Amino acid sequence: MQNKLKKTLITLAISSTMVLTSGCALSPQLINLQTESSLDGAAASLGRTALVRVRDLRENTDRLGTRGGARPEQALLLSKPNLKDALTAKMQNTLQQLGFGGVSPLQPVKVDLAVETFNYQCNEGNWVNQCDLLIKVNLTIINEGATFSQPFNIKQQRSVVTAPRAGFNEEWVNSALNELWSHMMTRPQVISALGV
């Protein structure tokens, strides 16, 4: 009986060691990106139209980053809708909230948002305990012949106990996007360039 118990304990110890040292590949995650405007309040109607263009300049536009782990190439962070569509809807909603929409004899304001970097990255290896998020965009506004252009970015880091669940990632990515968005769309230079 004692030998049987000893063999069972040794087998359990070996199995646990193998699991810890071999590392598990994390599966891809799909998160929902928010498209509503994160600005407070609404402005009076300007009676002007705005043309919105969002460009995703990244090499891999189908992903937001990787969850790390033993095989990071398999642990992708994906989004629904894709980043370009989500930011297009977010910009349209924001401009509508700022008073754009309707018919005007004036030329439309042109708003171009170029996504240069969107990288969610957790550490590689058997134990995921650190995640970074870096977003860089460039906003260009053309209004009655005047051009305004400025880069905006946000960089955040979080320590985690284990690889984050989809709910954690969704909350973090949307929160960071809203923070960047609020900073960008409430800047006096941006408001002035839009003619609000």
Is the pLDDT reported for residue 12 higher than 50?
A: no
Dihedral sign for Cα atoms in the order 36, 38, 40, 42: negative
Is the pLDDT reported for residue 2 higher than 70?
A: no
Q: Per-residue pLDDT averaged across 25-35, rounded?
A: 87
- Do 15 and 153 meet the contact criterion of CB atoms below 8 Å apart? no
Residue bearing the bigger pLDDT, 193 or 43: 193
- Do 67 and 126 meet the contact criterion of CB atoms below 8 Å apart? no
pLDDT value of residue 88: 97
What confidence tier does 40 reach under pLDDT thresholds 50, 70, 90? confident
- Gap between the Cα atoms of 196 and 38, Å rounded: 17
Q: Is the peptide bond prior to 164 cis by the omega test (within 30 degrees of 0)?
A: no
Residues above pLDDT 90, as percent of the chain: 56
Residue bearing the bigger pLDDT, 142 or 24: 142
Please give the CATH superfamily to which domain 26-194 belongs.
Answer: ABC-type transport auxiliary lipoprotein component (3.40.50.10610)
Q: Within 10 Å of residue 107's Cβ, how many Cβ atoms?
A: 13
Residue bearing the bigger pLDDT, 22 or 167: 167
Is the pLDDT reported for residue 183 higher than 50?
A: yes
Q: Per-residue pLDDT averaged across 125-152, rounded?
A: 94
What confidence tier does 35 reach under pLDDT thresholds 50, 70, 90? very high
What confidence tier does 43 reach under pLDDT thresholds 50, 70, 90? low
Tokens 């405007």 map to which residue?
A: 37
- Gap between the Cα atoms of 127 and 21, Å rounded: 10
pTM of the model: 0.82
Per residue in 63-115, pLDDT tens? Answer: 999 988 888 788 899 999 999 999 999 999 999 998 888 777 788 999 999 99
- Gap between the Cα atoms of 148 and 142, Å rounded: 6
Domain chopping of the chain, boundaries: 26-194
Q: What angle do CA 169, 174, 179 make, to 5 degrees?
A: 130
What confidence tier does 174 reach under pLDDT thresholds 50, 70, 90? very high
Mark 113-135 as b/e (b = at least 16 C-beta within 10 Å). Answer: bbbeebbbbbbeeeebeebebbb
pLDDT value of residue 72: 78
Is the pLDDT reported for residue 3 higher than 60?
A: no
Give the DSSP letter of residue 161. S
Pairing of strands 29-32, 146-159: unpaired
- Do 35 and 89 meet the contact criterion of CB atoms below 8 Å apart? yes
Residue 96 CB-density burial (10 A; 0-12 exposed, 13-18 middle, 19+ buried):
middle
